[in-house]
């Protein structure tokens, strides 16, 4: 069989800073011209075809296909000039987005088209009708029914908000801080971790610089035996983005003003109107109910870990003050797992070399969902990036092409510091009937190889990778008519559910066996270690989820309170009250909370809210046989394929065969055999 040739070329990744800005400006100018033509239509000429399908939906998709990859450079490029140009380009795009969304003449054309569709009796498909409804609602939410003066004020506020949020995220990506320790202070931290630190001489002693990237700093929280080392590391880590403190205060203030102008009680009410939960009251009720259930579980977890801390302090002659601190949590959580399950995190890590895990996970997804990956050679933004074309499993020609996937897996300076997926291109039907194919890029920060060991993944890293690949496939296997409904373009409080469901695979014995291979012996995890990993999942589940609820409650509070507060004090106080760990004096941790600048504003609750759906989907469909391709095909058809082209509740009903419920989630959290129950 001849090699498969994709019908759509991959993207160019050799732009200069000048090209990024020039292309962005040209794209904005072209889109503005399209909107001008649309706005000039006489009301009687505004039809579904002229206003919606041919003009707006296509223009929207074409615009995003150019500007999204250009704005992506700021997260991954090694060139500061290119990152800066990318950031500047995104500012232009966001400002233009505000301008375009505030065009009353365009909105009137949309309204005229809607009216003409009704008069004509034209029958629209469900997805076409959803497009009409969404576009009209967006106009109202944008403030286009407001008086002229208010609209002008709103436009200025939105542009300022956009730039302020970009500043917050840029500071997050550009952070380059380190915390330094002597070898003695790093006692307990695994040797292969320390060997990856930069060693230098400071005065008359040798010190090791630890960056705040996850593979560097997290082992200190988990393994450093000296509590002062952990405290210092945590304080520096927490304060690494103190520069963002005034930036957060500014964007929260701007959001309050915008919500007031639009007539919403709070920013949270504005944001949740288009989500599954519908309003801020629903979020508060969900969080309060879950916190009440989790608090007694968390208190018992803390009691167990505090006893472990006292025992260790007594053995080592370290003063014990009876308190449990933030810098104690990961350390004693790990110690408890090792003690109660005899599970050594560093031993488990030896079974997950990156070179084994990544292809194994790709194989699992390919077999489950009926696709195949073909590695391609071509332009990428960095030599370490892998590019794949993705095809239907039985593809023999271009008709079986699905899209492209990029994997950028290892840390480097100024790269986005966590794990995330960017849906750089959406799939959609072009006006001529041909297809535009999707492209998704996964960015992660897995540990690199060291002089003594190959690149190894903690089990947590494996779970994260599996989760993020869930987003990749949501983007690749969606097949909607319009780009705006493609893939993960679902309600924000549902978007995590498919990937959260897929995390369950990382606690299934046969999957763990498939993914593991000891870097020396090449043997998979044995049954004993697998059982321990599965049992460890719900150890200290109360404290874990109370931490999540702290983030969600902070996010909700700053987006419902009407007066500016001392956000640092609020952050520290709420964390102690909700997550049950001490550490008020650590500083401006809110400056690290990039989620609420980058799209999860008044939406962090969604991580836990969507777990209800994730648990239900897994327990109902996949638990009996998580590797069954027939179940995978059902998931592909009912959840992935439809993207956001219908209400997410309808997608869930179609997949489950009934409305979703919280039974599986409650059983999972409170019926599991954990340390605390």
Just list the catalytic residues: 468
What are the angstrom distances between the C-alpha of 554 and each of 99, 271, 278, 500? 31, 16, 19, 22
Q: Which tokens hold the place of 436?
A: 């535009």
Burial of 99 (0-12, 13-18, 19+ CB in 10 A): middle
Do 675 and 539 form a contact (C-beta atoms < 8 A)?
Answer: yes
Residue among 388, 391, 394 at smallest CA distance from 409:
388
Number of Cβ atoms within 10 Å of the Cβ of 577: 11
Q: Which tokens hold the place of 200?
A: 């230098």
Those residues with Cβ within 8 angstroms of residue 359's Cβ, 6 or more apart along the chain or in another chain? none
The rounded distance, in Å, linking the Cα atoms of 301 and 25 is 55
Q: Which tokens hold the place of 300?
A: 């018992």
Residue 234 CA to chain centroid, in angstroms?
23
Kindly report the backbone phi and psi dihedral angles of residue 596, in degrees, each rounded to the nearest multiple of 5, phi listed first.
Answer: -85, 0
Do 23 and 15 form a contact (C-beta atoms < 8 A)?
Answer: yes
The rounded distance, in Å, linking the Cα atoms of 404 and 12 is 13
What residue spans of 263-279 are helical by DSSP H? 267-272
Those residues with Cβ within 8 angstroms of residue 463's Cβ, 6 or more apart along the chain or in another chain? 503, 506
The rounded distance, in Å, linking the Cα atoms of 20 and 76 is 14
The rounded distance, in Å, linking the Cα atoms of 151 and 141 is 12
What are the angstrom distances between the C-alpha of 454 and each of 252, 358, 449? 44, 14, 4
Quickly tell me which residue has 């559910």 as its tokens.
497
Polymer length in residues for the chain? 677
Quickly tell me which residue has 């897996």 as its tokens.
409
The rounded distance, in Å, linking the Cα atoms of 150 and 253 is 17
Helix/strand/coil for 153: helix
Q: Residue 422: which H helix or E strand, with range? A: strand 420-425
Angle at 437 between CA 433 and CA 442, to 5 degrees: 165
The rounded distance, in Å, linking the Cα atoms of 434 and 154 is 39
The rounded distance, in Å, linking the Cα atoms of 49 and 535 is 56
The rounded distance, in Å, linking the Cα atoms of 39 and 59 is 14
Sign of the CA dihedral running 102, 263, 133, 91: positive
């Amino acid at each position: 069989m001849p090699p498969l040739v994709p019908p759509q070329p991959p993207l160019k990744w050799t732009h200069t800073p000048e090209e990024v800005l020039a292309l962005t400006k040209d794209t904005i100018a072209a889109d503005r011209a399209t909107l001008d033509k649309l706005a000039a239509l006489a009301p009687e000429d505004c039809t579904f075809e002229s206003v919606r399908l041919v003009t707006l939906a296509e223009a929207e998709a074409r615009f995003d296909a150019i500007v999204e990859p250009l704005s992506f450079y700021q997260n991954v490029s090694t060139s500061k000039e290119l990152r800066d140009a990318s950031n500047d380009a995104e500012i232009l795009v966001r400002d233009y987005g505000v301008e375009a969304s505030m065009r009353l003449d365009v909105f009137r054309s949309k309204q005229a088209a809607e009216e003409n569709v009704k008069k004509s009796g034209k029958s629209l498909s469900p997805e076409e009708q959803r497009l009409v409804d969404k576009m009209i609602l967006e106009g109202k939410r944008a403030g286009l029914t407001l008086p002229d003066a208010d609209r002008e004020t709103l436009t200025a506020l939105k542009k300022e908000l956009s730039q302020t949020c970009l500043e917050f995220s840029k500071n997050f990506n550009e952070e380059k801080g380190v915390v330094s320790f002597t070898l003695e202070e790093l006692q307990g931290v695994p040797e292969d971790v320390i060997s990856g630190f930069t060693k230098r001489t400071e005065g008359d002693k040798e010190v090791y610089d630890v960056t705040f990237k996850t593979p560097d700093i997290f082992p200190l929280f988990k393994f450093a035996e000296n509590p002062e080392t952990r405290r210092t590391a945590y304080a520096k880590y927490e304060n690494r983005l103190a520069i963002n403190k005034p930036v957060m205060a500014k964007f929260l203030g701007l959001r309050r003003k915008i919500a007031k102008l639009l007539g919403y009680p709070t920013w949270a009410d504005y944001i949740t109107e288009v989500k599954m939960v519908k309003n801020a009251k629903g979020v508060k009720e969900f969080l309060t109910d879950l916190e009440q259930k989790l608090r007694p579980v968390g208190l018992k977890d803390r009691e167990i870990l505090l006893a472990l801390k006292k025992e260790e302090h007594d053995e080592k002659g370290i003063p014990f003050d009876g308190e449990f601190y933030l810098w104690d949590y990961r350390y004693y959580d790990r110690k408890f797992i090792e003690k109660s399950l005899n599970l050594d995190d560093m031993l488990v890590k030896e079974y997950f070399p990156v070179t084994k895990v990544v292809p194994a996970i790709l194989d699992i997804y390919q077999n489950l969902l009926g696709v195949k990956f073909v590695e391609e050679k071509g332009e990428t933004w960095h030599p370490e990036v892998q590019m794949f074309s993705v095809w239907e499993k039985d593809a023999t020609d271009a008709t079986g092409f699905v899209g492209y996937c990029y994997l950028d897996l290892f840390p480097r300076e100024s790269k986005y510091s966590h794990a995330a997926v960017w849906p750089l291109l959406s799939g959609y039907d072009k006006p001529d009937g041909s297809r535009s194919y999707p492209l998704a890029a996964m960015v992660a920060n897995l540990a690199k190889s060291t002089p003594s060991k190959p690149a190894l993944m903690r089990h947590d890293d494996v779970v994260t990778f599996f989760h993020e690949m869930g987003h990749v496939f949501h983007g690749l296997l969606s097949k909607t008519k319009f780009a705006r409904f493609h893939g993960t373009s679902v309600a924000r409080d549902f978007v995590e559910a498919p990937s959260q469901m897929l995390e369950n695979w990382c606690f299934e014995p046969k999957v763990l066996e498939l993914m593991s291979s000891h870097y020396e012996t090449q043997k998979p995890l044995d049954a004993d270690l697998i059982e321990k990993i599965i049992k460890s999942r719900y150890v200290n589940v109360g404290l874990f989820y109370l931490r999540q609820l702290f983030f969600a409650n902070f996010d909700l509070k700053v987006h419902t309170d009407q007066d500016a507060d001392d956000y640092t004090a609020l952050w520290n106080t709420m964390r102690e009250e909700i997550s049950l760990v001490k550490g008020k004096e650590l500083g401006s941790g809110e400056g690290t909370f990039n989620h609420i600048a980058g799209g999860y504003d008044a939406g962090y609750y969604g991580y836990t809210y969507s777990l209800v759906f994730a648990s239900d989907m897994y327990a109902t469909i996949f638990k009996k046989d998580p590797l069954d391709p027939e179940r995978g095909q059902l998931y592909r058809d009912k959840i992935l394929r439809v993207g956001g082209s219908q209400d997410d509740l309808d997608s869930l009903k179609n997949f489950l065969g009934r409305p979703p419920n919280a039974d599986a989630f409650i059983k999972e959290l409170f019926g599991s055999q954990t340390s605390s129950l």
